[in-house]
């Protein structure tokens, strides 16, 4: 039982470290062949947005809006993939703990 509790504590520490790493990570998404670039944190927070002046047309604001949305979506998709890479092994480990007596609940 002590060994299982130590494993649970170790997993909790690994989870906290992975969450911290995600919070500090930044990923980039682009649209329009790089005309619009969005940078988000690993947690999905928009950090910056770059717009190439070539795409700014006062008579076609809708296209610019679409490109901004597409770039942010692309960046958020990249952030979700990063989170899956960082958290995936830990999540499967917690599932294994549940099979060993439902101790996964002790982790959260």
CATH number of domain containing 61: 3.30.1310.10
What distance in Å separates the CA atoms of residue 104 and residue 97, rounded to the nearest whole number? 5
Phi and psi angles of residue 56, each rounded to the nearest 5 degrees, phi first: -85, 110
Q: What is the per-residue pLDDT for 75?
A: 95
Residue 26, strand partner residues: 41
Query: Which residue spans within the chain are E strands per DSSP?
Result: 26-31, 36-41, 46-51
| Domain limits for position 79 | 2-107
Q: What is the pLDDT along the chain (108 residues), one digit of tens a residue?
A: 888 888 888 888 888 888 888 888 999 999 999 999 999 998 889 999 999 999 999 999 999 999 999 999 999 999 999 888 887 776 665 554 444 444 344 333
Report pTM. 0.69
The count of structural domains within the chain is 1
Instruction: Look at residue 93 in the predicted model and tell me its pLDDT.
Output: 56
Residues 31, 53: contact at Cβ < 8 Å? no
Q: What confidence score (pLDDT) does residue 22 get?
A: 86
């Amino acid at each position: 039982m002590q060994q299982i509790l130590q494993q649970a504590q170790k997993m909790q520490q690994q989870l906290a470290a992975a969450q911290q790493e995600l919070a500090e990570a930044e990923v980039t998404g682009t649209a329009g062949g790089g005309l619009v670039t969005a940078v988000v944190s690993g947690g999905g927070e928009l950090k910056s947005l770059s717009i190439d002046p070539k795409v700014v047309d006062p008579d076609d604001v809708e296209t610019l809006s679409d490109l901004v949305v597409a770039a942010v979506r692309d960046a958020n998709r990249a952030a979700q993939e990063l989170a899956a890479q960082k958290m995936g092994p830990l999540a499967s480990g917690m599932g294994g703990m549940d099979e060993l007596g439902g101790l996964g609940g002790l982790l959260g």
